[in-house]
Chains A and B, each alone.
Chain A
Amino acid sequence: MAENILARITLPEQARKGEVVTVRVIVRHPMERAVDAPGLRPVPRKILHTLRVTYAGAEVFRMEMSPGIAANPYVEFTTVAVESGAMVFEWQEDGGTVYRREARLEVE
């Protein structure tokens, strides 16, 4: 479980039960897409291909990415506040590396 990735996760600290909260995630990553053009040395593709978000015992969001996603991938989604706990973000990179971050949501 590699840890050297810079991620910024933005979500409200608190929410009422049943409220729909917006989650914003940006992560520093070049999303190397293996450009092959004259005068360029081909680089193997290395992108984050999946982001999984689990919260309160279930996967609440999943994004599958292609080289068509901009570098430093940004995503914004919503989830219903069900209980206080950790929201776990897991990025899978080409080559099998998995990066993991957590954010806490307090539900009253």
Chain B
Amino acid sequence: MSLHRRTLLALPLAAAAAGGAAAQSVTGESFAAAERAILAGRTPVAEGVTIAMPPLSENGNAVDLSVKVESPMTAEDHVSAIHILSELNPFPRVAHFALSPRAGRAEVTTRIRLATTQSIVVLAETSTGRVHRGTREVIVILGACVDGG
């Protein structure tokens, strides 16, 4: 039995990582797994997505969220899907919008629930196969989940 000092020091880190994963397992899908599944091996470009959200929300029960994606919205090049992902909500996939060139603009607004202070990630898939990614940090004073998410 030879547990090296280095291995022992890494143990609490591994335990913390496992605990974080358990907190996300309400749907059996973690935030990272949800993002990986949507990307399906593609590398997102970190531009073209504008997220409008209040930087600080006193109440996480209904937070305004607007997403705008730069796109010509033509038959050849348009945004076909917008995914809203939450880093620390019990359900990482908050909403998914399916758009077509008939939308005219790639802009959606809705109101979401936030469990706690976290980052919101938006992935926009285009008909050309590119994926745009945007992220926005939000501070939540009182979360939407009674059990703290």
Tell me the A residues contacting B by CB distance below 8 Å.
20-21, 33, 35-38, 40, 55, 58-71, 73-80, 82
Q: In the complex, which residues 132-149 of chain B have their Cβ closer than 8 Å to any Cβ of chain A?
A: 145-147
Number of A-B residue pairs with CB-CB distance less than 8 Å in the complex they form: 100
Contact between A80 and B110, CB atoms less than 8 A apart: no
Of all chain B residues, which has the CB nearest A22? B107
Q: Which residue of A lies closest to B101 (CB)?
A: A80
- Apart from A61-B99, A63-B108, A80-B103, list 17 A-B contacts with CB within 8 A: A20-B104, A37-B147, A55-B102, A58-B102, A59-B98, A61-B103, A63-B97, A64-B97, A64-B98, A66-B95, A68-B95, A68-B112, A70-B113, A71-B61, A75-B110, A80-B104, A82-B102
B63 on interface, CB distance cutoff 8 Å: yes
CB pair A69 B112 closer than 8 Å: yes
Asked whether B32 is an interface residue with its Cβ less than 8 Å from the other chain, the reply is no
CA distance A73 to B103 in the complex (A): 20
Q: Is the CB of B113 within 8 A of A68?
A: yes
> When chains A and B are docked, how far (Å) is the Cα of A57 from the Cα of B109?
24
List of 10 A-B pairs having minimum Cβ-Cβ separation, nearest first: A20-B104, A70-B62, A76-B109, A68-B94, A62-B98, A37-B147, A70-B111, A64-B96, A80-B104, A78-B105
A-B contact pairs, 29 of them (CB 8 A): A21-B104, A35-B145, A35-B147, A37-B146, A61-B97, A63-B97, A66-B93, A66-B94, A68-B84, A68-B113, A69-B111, A69-B112, A70-B110, A70-B111, A70-B112, A70-B113, A71-B61, A74-B109, A74-B110, A75-B109, A75-B110, A77-B99, A77-B107, A78-B103, A78-B104, A78-B107, A79-B103, A80-B103, A80-B104
